[in-house]
Amino acid sequence: MRNRLPSRSLSSYGASWPVNRRIAIVTGAIAILLALAGIVAVVSGSGNDRQAAGTAAPAPSGSSPSSAETSPKPSSGSGSVPKPPPIADPVAYAKAAAQMLWSYDTRDTSRDQLAGMRAWMTTETKYADWASVAGQVPDPVLWSRMADQDQHATAHVTEGHYPSAFKQALADDPSAITEAYIYVVTVNGTQQIAWKKGGSGAEERAVTLAIQCRPNHDCTLAALAPSVTQ
């Protein structure tokens, strides 16, 4: 086996959105736009497997704990996860969130500290899908294996934009966004990964996020879409 473990980024690990949460996000946040054939596809995805950041890495052999068991418990502290920036622009916030998701360092971060990602989430429970974010975290066994190899990653975000389906929905009904102020943003970038004995590599990354930006408030993360829409 090569030194590199079968893991790529935090956002390569995920499970499908729970059906009830997916319906809540679509209905309460974006399907309010009614002219939403394209947006429903953006948020709900066409399948049950998350494809938010390219092909998911294979999991270790043997049975895997459920997502409820493997996701770190939310905590009030941020751990080594960077605090969310005070940004009021959906695209800029999405780019910052993607960079956070694609960056990690097993050398000085425990898996439990990744619960600090919750600080990036909206506090409006009607729209917050914490499971879609927590589901990005490797299970404890895999995280331990990554740590054994000192695996760490940095990210370079190249661009962020509104998918064409979302822009069309807004053009069809500009006032509909005022219900939840949730914007769909796709971010592209590159992830640099390194591990013991000089091992390294680079991979292209892409993710589609639901970002809430109410007027006169900083943006927050509502959810990660199960598939990327450009």
Which pLDDT score is estimated for 71? 53
H/E run at residue 39: helix 37-44
pTM of the model: 0.73
The string of pLDDT tens digits covering residues 89-143 is: 999 999 999 999 999 999 999 999 999 999 999 999 988 999 999 988 999 999 9
Alpha helices in 74-137 (DSSP H): 90-101, 130-134
- In this prediction, residue 153 has a pLDDT band, given cuts at 50, 70 and 90, of very high
The answer to whether residues 34 and 176 touch, using CB atoms and an 8 Å cutoff, is: yes
Which pLDDT score is estimated for 172? 85
Exposure b/e, 62-86, CB count within 10 A at least 16 = b:
eeeeebeebbbeeeeebbebeebee
Q: Over the chain, what is the mean pLDDT?
A: 74
Q: Which residue has the tokens 């914007």?
A: 183
pLDDT greater than 70 at residue 23: no
Q: 164-172 vs 37-44: helix axis angle to the nearest 10?
A: 140
Which pLDDT score is estimated for 133? 92
